[in-house]
Structure 1
Amino acid sequence: MNPVASLARRINFIRPNYVLYAIIALNALVFAAWQYSTESFRKFNDPKAYIFMCKNFLFGEMNLAQGRIWTLLTSCISHEDSTHFLLNMLSLAFMGSHVVMHIGNTAFLSLYFGAGIATALVSLAWNRFVSPWLGRGMHSPQVRAANGGSPQQRASHGASGSVYAILSTFACMSPRTTFLLFFVIPIPAWACISGIFVWDLSQAWFRPGGPIDSAAHIGGILAGVLFWRFKLKGHRV
């Protein structure tokens, strides 16, 4: 049997929620590493661990140019801010369990990490070509720390793009399922995701380089829709 097919078969024998928990655990481990590196920098003025995290868990032009291609994957399990981490993991825990049960383990892993790569590339392209054209770009403090303070490029990280891809895949599979907007207002899944898309598109256009990487969110939503259309063949539940 083909080694890849054999591995996929083994992965698919694992309980679906275990795969989801493993992804959450990876995110938690990297989040803990960020906290350690930040505290080491702040308390002991030792930047080594922080620079290591910037070089290996942020995706941007500088890391890509220096051959750290793995940051396409590691950036989508990377959170430095606690609020960012908690919101993404809560969303992943609630929505991911439904999606992984319907599409299977290997497809779910492909969706999560494939969307992570897609969102990183969309973010890179947007910040490289569109933000300078709009003329209001800002630059990542993480990159400034990693390259000695030069505000030349922007890097991004976080599971938001992957989470948005999972949300949009679910919305395509079950568009009339009710979401609770702000945990209060009932709204169909398709309308919720459409609203998020319009919001992030407006933010990316009118606030390029802002604190939230809206371009990555757009990439995540589109990745989820394309995954549903071509990988899942438009499957509905």
Structure 2
Amino acid sequence: MNLFAMRRGYWLTPAIIYINAAIFLFTVAYTQSIMWFPARALVELGANFGPLTLDGQWWRLLTSVFLHGGLLHIVFNAIVLANIGIFLEPLLGRVSFIIVYLLTGLLASTASLVFNDNVVSVGASGAIFGMYGFFLALLTTNLFKPDFRSMFLKNTLGFVGLNIAIGFFGPIDNAAHIGGLVSGFVLGYVWLPYVRRRAQRQRPGPF
């Protein structure tokens, strides 16, 4: 539970989780369901759906990032976001963290729109994969100490690879996951000079 507690240098990640939880509770009240929500209701609440998004409702690219399809969906995403946020938020700072999170979420939604234009897509997982892609990019550099880099590179690759593989065998929007992952990886290199400067000020640590 410590992952969900706000504290100095780490409050934006829990705040995003609490916002998602509040929207989830609203969706529960709206649909009178909890384990899964009807696609029509999700579309009414702002899901990414090609025929509507492409018809000018571009705000769905963002609102869909804060909607979830059911209880297990939001619980899994909350845990995974907390586990990556606790590393990246102190490293990036609040402003950069929210920019990367929202930008990769938007790009993940765009990828879903391109490859799954008739699918009702919701969830923070595209943005979360973006954060993991960002972390992977940093792990391929000499930013971190070798032992830290080696351990987390293997763990992160394993997590990402497993979830991408699972996405090919279930009702999962892999286009959003891969879109978020790739965009996050690219942004990791774009942000690298800034991250290096912050890391130098934060030493000692895993750097």
TM-score range, shorter chain: 0.7 to 0.9
Structure 1 pair 217/193, CA: closer, same or farther in 2 (3 Å)? farther
In structure 2, the partner of 1:189 is 152
Query: Where is the strand percentage greater, Structure 1 or Structure 2?
Result: 1
Q: Which residue of 170, 173, 176 corresponds with 2:138?
A: 173
1:53-202 equivalent positions in 2, closer than 5 A: 53-128=42-117, 153-174=118-139, 188-199=151-162
TM-score by length of 2: 0.74
Instruction: Report the number of matched residues.
Output: 182
Contact 2:88–2:135 (Cα < 8 Å) also in 1: yes
The answer to which of 14-23 and 96-105 deviates more is 14-23
- Residues 66-113 of structure 1, C-alpha deviation per residue, up to 9 Å, x if partnerless? 422111111111112111101110111122022010111111001111
Contact 1:161–1:219 (Cα < 8 Å) also in 2: yes
TM-score by length of 1: 0.66
Instruction: Calculate the aligned-residue CA RMSD, in Å.
Output: 3.0
Q: Which runs of 4+ in 1 moved over 6 A?
A: none
Larger Rg: 1
Contact 2:135–2:185 (Cα < 8 Å) also in 1: no
Whole-angstrom CA distance in 2 between matches of 1:15 and 1:66: 43
In structure 1, the partner of 2:200 is none
Q: Equivalent residue of 1:116, what SS?
A: helix
Whole-angstrom CA distance in 1 between matches of 2:147 and 2:90: 16
Whole-angstrom CA distance in 1 between matches of 2:102 and 2:137: 19
What residue ranges of structure 2 are gaps of 5+ in the alignment?
1-6, 141-145, 197-206
What residue ranges of structure 1 are gaps of 5+ in the alignment?
1-13, 41-48, 129-152, 180-186
Letter in 2 for 1:23: I
